Amino acid sequence: MPIRREIYKGIKDIPRQEYLAGGTGLCAGCGGLLALRLFHKALGPNVVFVNAAGCLTLLAVFPFTPFHSSWLYTAMASAPAGAQGVRDALDMLIAKGRLSKDENLKVVVVTGDGAAHGIGLQATLAAIHRGLDFYYFCYDNEAFGNTGFQMSPASPFGSRTATTPVTSATPGGTATHKQDLFKLWEAQQPAFVATVSPAYPLDLMDKVARAGQLTGPKLFISLAACPPGWGVEPAESVEIAKLAVDTGVWPLKEVCDGKVVHTVRPHRFRPVEDYLHGQTRYHHLFAPVRQEEILRQLQHDVDRYWAAADADAGEVDNRLATVRA
């Protein structure tokens, strides 16, 4: 059952106030930046971002910053530990009366999938384990985008990256399957965990607002189209993000009372191929020959996911028939 939106019900509910100035040095059409902009709108002012190495590190380049809020670059492995230090210090300074309560800040980790899944996973799981009161925002462009799009644990099966190239010996590109970060987090029962997409701004912002009422780890993974890495035009990045949701590849969900709830469920799922077609990182699946086995596998993975999700939600599943029709 879809979740009722509580705060952001229509596009006009999105505040016009910007907290992230335009004209940054990031790539045009960066899905991560778009999601972060919406994320910040929902958080409002009085935020400190604690950043791990990644594309968004290049938002603040001395002596300029697009943020109307504070920023601390830490290192690739330990941004959640940095958030711990900032949170604890603010708490102690307020408790000791050296900082007034209205000087308090929301502490937000900003990291890419490379740091979130691999080098930074230990620090992240530890921060969740400690029950740290913080937001964690992962922009998932499904590779190490900042270094030229090498494979990360978030790279999907069948995609091409700079380190999983397509050759006659490896015609399928990435042979491993995307690591399920949502499940890794969910297993630790944080205060809030959700997936979001810049193509669904109301869903994104409403989740941030709902999470804001909770104390503890509040985790968000946003699919983030990477025009240079995915091989899409900057102008297409929102469309491609929407296709990811509409084909069922990127399920929008959150954990509510220990149960995964899908917040957006397409009425008619489009075939996964519709999503893959437009991206050069999947071109090898279609030309020079169609790689039927891999395409079947990708569709099967999505079908299986939603069948399990629907069964879990206790809903009648007539979707597969719809897709095949």
Partner 1 sequence: MTRELLTGNAAAAWGARLAEVDYIPVYPITPQTEVIEALAQWVAEGTLAARLVTMDSEHSMLTAAGAAAATGARVFTASSSQGLVYGLEMLYTIAGWRVPLVLLNVSRALAAPITLEPDHNDVLAARDSGFLQIHAESCQEVLDSVLMAYRLSEHADVLLPVLVNLDGFYLSFTREPVELPSVEEVREFLPPHKAAHGFSASHVLAQGVAVLGGTGYSFFKYQMQRAAEAALTAHDAIAGEFCRRFGRCYGAVESYRLDDADWVIVMSNSFSTVGKEEVARLRARGEKVGLLRLRLIRPFPDQEIEWLLGDRRAVAVIDQNISIGKGGILFSEVASALRGRTPPPLLSFIGGLGGRRFRSEEFDTIMAALHAAENDGGSVEPTLLYSEAEYRQMMEMLRIAQQGSASTPEK
Binding site for partner 1 (CB under 8 A): 45-46, 48, 50, 57-58, 60-63, 65, 67-75, 77-86, 88-93, 96, 98-99, 102-105, 122-123, 125-126, 130
Q: Of 238, 309, 299, nearest to 272 (Cα)?
A: 299
Which one, 26 or 256, has the nearer CB to partner 1? 26
Q: Which is nearer to partner 1, 65 or 179 (CB)?
A: 65
| 134-140 and 192-196 beta bridge pairing | unpaired
Strand-strand pairing, 217-223 and 134-140: parallel
- Identity of the residue, 77 or 260, whose beta carbon is nearer to partner 1 in the bound complex: 77
What's the closest the beta carbon of residue 68 comes to partner 1, in angstroms?
A: 7
Nearest residue to 109 (alpha-carbon basis) of 154, 54, 166, 64: 54
For residues 4 and 98, which CB has a smaller minimum distance to partner 1 in the complex?
98
Shortest distance (Å) from residue 134 CB to partner 1: 12
Closest CB to partner 1 among residues 58, 307: 58
Of the pair 73, 157, the CB lying nearest partner 1 is at: 73
**Tokens, residue 248:** 């069922």
Q: Distance between CA 120 and CA 76 in Å, rounded?
A: 6
Contacts of 204 (CB under 8 A, 6+ apart): 35, 38, 39, 42, 196, 197, 198, 222
Least separation in angstroms between residue 126's CB and partner 1 is: 3
Minimum CB–partner distance for residue 19 and partner 1 (Å): 11
Q: Looking at beta carbons only, is 170 or 189 nearer to partner 1? A: 189
Three-state secondary structure string covering 150-176 = ECCCCCCCCCCCCCCCCCCCCCCCCCC
Least distance from C-beta 85 to partner 1, angstroms? Answer: 3
Tell me the C-alpha distance between 187 and 42, whole Å.
Answer: 26
Left, alpha or beta for 314 (phi > 0: left; psi -120 to 50: alpha)? left
Tokens of 260: 């995964």
CB of 90 to partner 1, least distance (A): 6
| Residue 45 CB, nearest approach to partner 1 (Å) | 8
Q: Are the CB atoms for 245 and 199 separated by under 8 Å? A: yes
Question: Where do we find the tokens 């996911």?
Answer: 305
Residue 88 Cα distances to 40, 46, 48, 218, 253, angstroms: 22, 16, 13, 17, 30
Quote the least distance from Cβ 86 to partner 1, whole Å. 5
Instruction: Please identify, using beta-carbon distances, which residue of 107 and 295 lies nearer to partner 1.
Output: 107
